[in-house]
Structure formats: structure tokens, C-alpha cells
Amino acid sequence: MRSAAFAFPVTAPSGRPLPVWRADRICAPAVHGGDPADAARPTGHAALDAELPSGGWPVAGLIELLLATPGCGELRLLAPALAPLPLLWVAPPFVPYVPALAVLGLAPARLTVATPDDAADAAWAAEQALRSGALGAVLWWQGQTRAATLPATLRRLHLAAEEGRTPLFALRPAAARAQSSPAPLRLALEAVGPSRLAVEVFKRRGPPMGTPLVLRLPGLALRGERRAASHARTLVRREDHAVVCLAPERVAA
């Protein structure tokens, strides 16, 4: 049985027709007092832009990236769009490797990293940063957030991101796909090669994707760093737990 999309005539009090989203088309998000094109920032990957409402990453609100494994290529995916912006990273699982980030254009001078003691403090830090509206984007790694409090945390962060007109990229495990979320845009990421990433947009305002995209990611290491990378595995102690700094490709990927 084929599904059908229906559009009913809707009018504003002024008598003018209002735009109605048809479920068989990708919907451009509404922008209050502005051009819908201003609601998105190009990702730097043309094939991905074609699959996203307004042709890029939303400039406000919650965006979920579900990772098969941390370091599968999420930062290389985001770098083209986020490189010029002031960023906050909250609770990243690995120690940032500055030389690799610099190759991607992510300058340390525009990057602040917050490592709160627990998941509740991490969510609080992300929320305050979003509400300030002072950043280009916030990246928040979910960590061991309690399942009972997670839905409320996601809603609160989504509202803060909309209020502060700032995008929040929530980096969550792939198992979170089965959970409901207030995020209007959710993507699943999985590495399929050293510089290739499978991207599935499984929630958006539009029809389902036919098949995942396979994107070629920007390159990383300098020749000398690449040779040393295969041997680099440094353990950095932080009080009662350890943060593993993997090879540069893994840290900045």
C-alpha cells in the first residue's frame, strides 16, 4: 500500500495562505523574521547538504550524531562547517590532539574544552553555554547520563540551544537510536574505511533516506605524524579515571 502526503489549505488571520509541509518533501525550518536559508550552515559535504533541511546544519537547536564508536570520524565530518567558529566541547572522551585539529582548521584559540566531574555537571555546563548565545556551536558528549533523567536533559538542552540561537551537537552511542528524542535532526555515523564515513539521516522533516551516504572525509596527519600515529597510545590520569589519547587519526577523527 502506497503512502500519500496531503496538504490542506491553511490561512493566517490576514487571509494569506500559510506554508504547509508535505511529508514527501524535505522541509525547510521556519525562521522568524528571516530568510529560511539563514536557518542552516553548509556542512562542507554537498551530498549531505542535499539531504538536510535548508541545505546544511541547523544554526540553532539539538542535532544528534549517533556514533558506532567514538572517534569514527565525527570531528572530520563537522570540521568544514565549524572551523571558523568559537566552539565549546563538553566532556569529550579523548584528549584533544592539537596538531591534528589544526590540520582540520580547528584552531586552539577558538576552542574551549570543559571536563566536568560528572554527567549532570556536563549537561549543566552545556546548557549555560547555549543560553549565553556567545558561541558558534557546542559539542556535548552524553557520557553516563542516567536513563531516567536523559529525556528531560535532552529537552532542556534543545530549548537552551533554540533560545541561544546556537547549534548543539549531541554525540551519543548508536544504541540511543531506539530512544525517543526531541532532536528534529538525528544522524547515525559509522566508519567504513580510513577516510570514509557512512552517514544515515534517520530523522528529519522529510521522507526517509533510501540508503546511507558514504562521504570522503578531509585528510589529517602530516607524514611524520602518520608514521608515529600507529604507535601512539598515551594514558593520561585525571583523578580516579583515565582518558586515553589514541593515535592522532583517532583523537581528531
174: CATH: 3.40.50.300
> Is position 55 within any domain?
yes
Query: Percent of the chain, pLDDT > 70?
Result: 71
> Is position 137 within any domain?
yes
> Is position 234 within any domain?
no
Average pLDDT of span 212-217: 96
CA gap 253, 238 in Å, rounded: 22
pTM over 0.85: no
* Predicted local distance difference test score (pLDDT) of residue 244: 28
pLDDT digits (tens, 9 = 90+) for 62-107: 999 999 999 999 999 999 999 999 999 999 999 989 999 999 999 9
> Is position 14 within any domain?
no
Give me the number of domains the chain comprises: 1
* Predicted local distance difference test score (pLDDT) of residue 90: 97
DSSP 188-237: EEEEEETTEEEEEEEESSSPPPSS-EEEEPPP---HHHHHHHTT--EEEE
> Is position 70 within any domain?
yes
> Is position 139 within any domain?
yes
Task: Give the three cell numbers for residue 69.
Answer: 564508536
pLDDT-derived band at 236, boundaries 50, 70, 90: very low
Angle at 131 between CA 134 and CA 179, to 5 degrees: 120
* Residue-range definition of the domain harbouring residue 110: 40-220
Cell numbers 568544514 label which residue?
A: 80
> Is position 102 within any domain?
yes
> Is position 192 within any domain?
yes
